[in-house]
Amino acid sequence: MNKRLFKYARKGHKWLGYLLALQIFFWLLGGLVMSSLPLEKVHGKHLANRSLSSPFLLSDYPASIDKITAQFEQIEQIEQIEQIEQRANRGY
């Protein structure tokens, strides 16, 4: 029984070692690739500064953000009025 357990433990340990070695290999390979590229390209600032054109037009949107936020402001005002009325009814 012990020999069988040790046999599986050795095989498992060996395969976990292979997986770890593979991960370290890819980590080192990635480091070599990043060190061979120019530093500006590695940082990626050129990607952050670019602007993409939108495929959508303003006419594609049926509602504007201003109209939607105005509706929420009206709802908040109504809720505030209701709270004031409730306080008045309670005698505050």
- Cβ partners under 8 Å of residue 34, min gap 6: 42
pLDDT in tens, 33-92: 999 988 888 888 877 777 777 777 777 777 777 777 777 777 777 777 778 778 877 765
Instruction: Write 72-75 long-range contacts (CB < 8 A, 24+).
Output: none
Contact 40, 46 (CB under 8 A): yes
Contact 42, 34 (CB under 8 A): yes
Check residue 87 and give its pLDDT: 80
